Amino acid sequence: MIRPTAKDLAEAAGVSLATVDRVLNDRPNVSARASLKVQEAIEKIGFVRNLAAVALARNKIYRFRFVLPSKGDQYLQELLQRVGEASHTLKSDLTEITVDQIATDDPYQLSRHLAAIETEEVDGVAVMAPESPQVRDALSRLMTRGIHLVQFLSGQEKLKTADFVGVDNFAAGATAGRIIGRFLGNEPGKIMIVAETMVARDSIERRRGFDSIINEQFPHLRALPSLETYGDQSRAAAIIQNVVERHHDIRAAYVLSPESRIPVSAISQHADLQKVTVVVHERTPFSEEALRTGRIDAIIAQDPGHAVRSAVRIMRARADLRDPIAAQEKIRIEVLLKENL
Amino acid sequence: MIRPTAKDLAEAAGVSLATVDRVLNDRPNVSARASLKVQEAIEKIGFVRNLAAVALARNKIYRFRFVLPSKGDQYLQELLQRVGEASHTLKSDLTEITVDQIATDDPYQLSRHLAAIETEEVDGVAVMAPESPQVRDALSRLMTRGIHLVQFLSGQEKLKTADFVGVDNFAAGATAGRIIGRFLGNEPGKIMIVAETMVARDSIERRRGFDSIINEQFPHLRALPSLETYGDQSRAAAIIQNVVERHHDIRAAYVLSPESRIPVSAISQHADLQKVTVVVHERTPFSEEALRTGRIDAIIAQDPGHAVRSAVRIMRARADLRDPIAAQEKIRIEVLLKENL
DNA sequence: ATATAACTGAGGTGCGCACCTCAATGCAAG
DNA sequence: CTTGCATTGAGGTGCGCACCTCAGTTATAT
């Protein structure tokens, strides 16, 4: 037999096609005995569902939505582009992807937005938003309503019942710590740490991971308190100037936030920081160029294209009541140097 | 209109379904005018082929084959496992994957094997084999016979007309160079370089990439001539001992070959090499464990799972006479440290 | 103008499965 | 023994497209 079909399976199991259908699709009114006979026949004849036929017969269009921040710099642009590409590619796969950009840092607005998503219009939602109890509740309610949720690159204290796509930020911070520690060698010195804001859970976890490595492995180095730019160029310059005046042995800088343009610009414009080792997060046109020209020394990244595709695969699997293939969906913490860009 | 079908397309283009079919599938006997009308209508109504329906109607089983070495250590096992996983996963996608393990280092045997592959039994072949003119010819002939070829992780001087899956080995070597250079700091010293054999093009290119960085960026370091273990444990110990006796300032070791167990074992057993920085290629159970326990300091890797899936996607696209999505198929040069394993 | 080749349309079939209806059977409680 | 419910089978329809045939039409060459 070339490739057994459901008909062959029915025959082998000694039941009708209708029963095979009931078993395969978990429909009610099947006796345990019949179910068992079908399961055994599946093993015996090596039946494998033809997914193309399933998709065609279901004739269902999968509708997924990405909820992303409305404000951001190059990293957000990068994400939007990847989502757009995925949307385009997946059209022929009966998958429609939409994007909502809202002020994800306003828990109230975000919650309202999530509450307004109708079960009928969407099969799955991938949300990238900072943590808050209110948002967490809204996400829970979303799931209760039968909408599959993916926590996307974001720092929610993970809802255990939801899928997550992204990296372990503690490990990402630790990786940055290892890089800086090894790059600096044995001479003592201080490390400047810059973030847009330390409210974001992502930044907090990275900082914790970073500190854990520096303290344990490189005790001759000292990580200074985190500076917050609030996304403001002149504020960034001012606080960095302030730190430089008080510490004469700054040998490295670590930028916690995904948007590194403002902090790195401030650092590379400062006369006293020309020789410091700089590590940032996320690959953007800016960080890539900075790595090429030597203004920064390494990028810790998670591939946004992978992340988007992974989120879609997971939502797709959940919509079909399948389990995602965990091994394939792990997002790697990438270390980018000038040579492996 | 919810989602235009070919029928809608025919209507919009003012032609028959038969003509739409001829245009969509590049069949002969279509006037330029009719073709144009269809193309325009596609744009106009936003027609997108339903791939599930295409697959079902074609009812074609895609048969792909991986040709891999018969001899190897953990990296080969890793590869085999990934191919097996892909094979399992893709069964429901009408894709059958087989593996041939042969002595790929014997050009004659490999050529004969490739020549024996029938066009009827296989749609695409992914070959991992070291370079030789004879093999290159055999690969060319394979393509001439209409079998889609993917050069898989291997060091053929690339056949321009064939697809390639894998990393740029020059860049991989350069990345290793950067890592070692930065990890060692400013003190002068020597770098021991070990390979299974320097006949493999991969190793040669990595060595070139490595040297280029060390020479340009870290002139206080010196990379010693490559040692060849020939996969022999005692020979490895002997040649390393020999080098250690002649050089007292070895500060790092770089293992070029994908199988690093033998060289690393020899290095970590040598009393004088306890403090050297070690960088190897490819993630295997051994190298992973060595990184965890600190016997090595970094791994330069290419994800074999990604590589396998990428090769299959490419062969699939080629079999459908589509172009692969280049951006998605790029294999990254990964830098693994203890923290981002 | 006629033979010929290049095009076009109408229609049909089947891919493997999901989903539906309806009748028939079994089984247990009352 | 009847009633009611769970289970099973038979059969049909349609998803969107590929692929085939054959008749009819239009352009091209002679």
- A200-220 residue pLDDT tens: 889 999 999 999 999 999 999
- A108-135 residue pLDDT tens: 999 999 999 998 889 999 999 888 889 9
Residue A332 in this model has a pLDDT that exceeds 90:
yes
Residues A143/A163, Cβ–Cβ less than 8 Å: no
Going by pLDDT thresholds of 50, 70 and 90, the confidence category of residue A180 is: very high
Residue B1 in this model has a pLDDT that exceeds 60:
no
Ranges A258-272, B145-159, B169-183, B266-280, most confident:
B169-183
- What phi, psi does A258 have (nearest 5°)? -65, -30
At residue B276, the pLDDT reads 96
**Touching check for A175 and chain B: CB below 8 Å?**
yes
In chain B, what is the straight-line distance between the N-terminal and C-terminal CA atoms, in Å?
Answer: 49
Going by pLDDT thresholds of 50, 70 and 90, the confidence category of residue B104 is: confident
For residue B172, give the chain A residue with the closest CA. Answer: A340
**Touching check for A183 and chain B: CB below 8 Å?**
yes
Q: Which of A50, A327, A338 sits opposite B94 (nearest CB)?
A: A50
Residues A314/A329, Cβ–Cβ less than 8 Å: yes
Going by pLDDT thresholds of 50, 70 and 90, the confidence category of residue B151 is: very high
At residue A83, the pLDDT reads 98
Question: Which stretch of A128-132, B96-100, B253-257 has the lowest confidence by average pLDDT?
Answer: A128-132
Pinpoint the alpha helices (H) of A185-303.
201-217, 233-246, 261-269, 285-293
Size of interface A-B (CB pairs under 8 A): 108
Q: B111 CA to D11 C1', in Å?
A: 55
The whole-chain average pLDDT of chain A stands at: 94
- Evaluate if the CB of A56 falls below 7 Å from strand D: yes
Going by pLDDT thresholds of 50, 70 and 90, the confidence category of residue B132 is: confident
Residue B144 in this model has a pLDDT that exceeds 80:
yes
Going by pLDDT thresholds of 50, 70 and 90, the confidence category of residue B155 is: low
Compute CA distances A166 → A7, A196, A301, B177, B192, whole Å: 42, 20, 10, 29, 37
Q: How far apart are CA B156 and CA B173, in angstroms?
A: 17
Nucleotide nearest to A58 (CA to C1'): C18
Side-chain half-sphere exposure of B265, counting CA atoms within 13 A: 14
Chain A residue numbers with beta carbons less than 8 Å from the beta carbon of B337 are: 175, 178-179, 335
Give me the residue label for tokens 């770098």: B191
Nucleotide nearest to A54 (CA to C1'): C17
Compute CA distances B184 → A209, B8, B181, B221, B263, whole Å: 24, 66, 5, 9, 20
**Touching check for A116 and chain B: CB below 8 Å?**
no
- Residues touching nucleic chain C (CB < 7 Å): A 3, 5-7, 17-18, 21, 24-25, 47, 49-50, 53-54, 56-58; B 14-19, 22, 28-31, 33-34, 56-57, 59
Q: What is the mean pLDDT of residues A318-335?
A: 92
Q: Which of A51, A174, A333 sits opposite B92 (nearest CB)?
A: A51
Question: Which stretch of A171-175, B54-58, B239-243, B271-275 has the lowest confidence by average pLDDT?
Answer: B271-275
